[in-house]
Amino acid sequence: MQLANMLVRLRGTEALRDPEVATALRLSDTQQIRIQNVYRRNLATLRDRLRELFQRCGRRSSVRDTLREFQSQSGEQIVSLLSPEQQQQFEHMRSDSGR
């Protein structure tokens, strides 16, 4: 459980794809597949947006903003796939009190 907490604190919602975290949160197979699908879909969108940004202007601040937006949107979509109990446990794991 400590490893799962550490992974969540370091990687945020991306850690939900890790088997250790999936087990700790008791994610169903369906939830794991849906989480993976959200990441794949959003990654394809991110690639397209970054390519467009680099072709247009290539400014680092634009790229940084796009990455932050991607992380925020992906995180919200993925957390919404969790049950209320799993969301609560995930937030606990993400906080310092999850140590």
Tell me the per-residue pLDDT of 73-99, one tens digit each, with 9 for 90 and over.
Answer: 888 999 999 999 999 999 999 886 655
The confidence score (pLDDT) of residue 92 equals: 92
Euclidean distance between CA atoms 42 and 17, whole angstroms: 14
11 DSSP 8-state letter: H
Expressed as residue numbers, the domain containing 73 is 2-98
Confidence of residue 49 (pLDDT cuts 50, 70, 90): confident
| Range 16-37 average pLDDT | 94
Number of domains within the chain = 1
The confidence score (pLDDT) of residue 70 equals: 83
The confidence score (pLDDT) of residue 64 equals: 79
Of 30 and 68, the one with more pLDDT: 30
Euclidean distance between CA atoms 29 and 51, whole angstroms: 33
- Token digits of residue 23: 């087990």
* CA neighbor of 11 nearest in space, from 82, 94, 81, 85: 94
| Range 4-28 average pLDDT | 91
7 pLDDT exceeds 70? yes
| Range 50-68 average pLDDT | 75
